[in-house]
Amino acid sequence: MEVHDGYTGLLFRDPVITMGVFDGVHLGHRMLLRRVTEEASLTGSDSVAVTFDPHPRIVLTGDPGHLSFLTDLEERIPILQETGIGHLVVIPFTAELSRMTAPAFVDSILCRHLGVRHLITGYNHHFGRKHEGDANTILECSARMDFRVTREEAYLINGEPVSSSLIRKTLGEGRIERATEMLGYDYFIRGKVVSGRKIGRNMGFPTANIAPLFAHKLIPRTGVYAVEAEIHGEEGRYAGMLNIGHRPTISDSDGNRTIEVHLISFSGDLYERQITVTFRHRLRDEMKFNDMDALAAQLVKDREMTIALLQH
């Protein structure tokens, strides 16, 4: 897959195009992208996905600090590549672009710059100023500008349309297996290991405190999870137990939510290194224990359960 920064100066061969943010690149997105590659293959055309960075909501929201998403662009690219799409056009999303009407976007960017011959859209696709563009807008544009349009139906699991917003809601509820089912892969967080208070080490469970690389990365519901971890620059994966929460047993906790992972078979210093943790199972809610000994006893049980689940 060839990645293009911006939409000017590109020459495609009768391109079949789809567009969207593709947050998470879930199974619905991949169905759509496969249709693009299949159609392009039949007609000898280029297959093209058009996306935007940053996420439009970050630009359009007055206070973006509370926003969270499944993936940033760096995380989306390798997942998009797996679909077989030939070209990814990354359009910088700006306040100026947000004011462009839907017909103007189709005319200027899709037609004049990218030369669309066949546009394949999702079942609920909206675009343009104030999301005014929809399937009817695209059909009207196609009649004037001479390109084909195909509208794909929703990808359903158990009768429910798969969407990025539904997956975000599901992860917020801690339903890891359900999110995996809709994503088609296990949810993950990429981060940098930062300095912690070394409380876990004193209990025999040294942990790495993770600061996500993507400021708007969605963090699943507070609780304890069985995970697998990859350390940047090293081969292999490590089983681990990860806690998301406020450490209520520690009386002098500052109350901020932390992400801490204990790698069961790893010994070494992870400080300042990059790590990717992949969520496999949710073990339990975060709990407040009477003392540190009770917490340590629970951590032993969590470790045993993690090993059993990941081995299975």
Sign of the C-alpha dihedral, residues 288, 292, 296, 301? negative
What is the per-residue pLDDT for 219? 97
Residue 99, Cβ density class (10 Å: 0-12 exposed, 13-18 middle, ≥19 buried): exposed
pLDDT in tens, 133-192: 777 888 888 889 999 999 999 999 999 999 999 999 999 999 999 999 999 999 999 999
Cα separation, 224 vs 239, whole angstroms: 14
Q: Sign (positive/negative) of CA torsion 271, 273, 279, 281?
A: negative
Predicted confidence band of residue 63 (pLDDT cuts 50, 70, 90): confident
The percent of residues above 70 in pLDDT, for the chain, comes to 96
Instruction: Give, in order, the Cα–Cα distances in Å from 80 to each of 72, 73, 76, 187, 309.
Output: 12, 10, 6, 15, 29
The Cα–Cα gap between 117 and 45 comes to 9
Delineate the domains of the chain, giving CATH numbers in brackets.
2-161 (3.40.50.620), 186-311 (2.40.30.30)
pLDDT reported for residue 3: 98
Comparing 78-87, 207-216, 242-251, the range with the smallest average pLDDT is 242-251
What pLDDT score does 204 carry? 72
Q: For position 129, what pLDDT does the model report?
A: 78
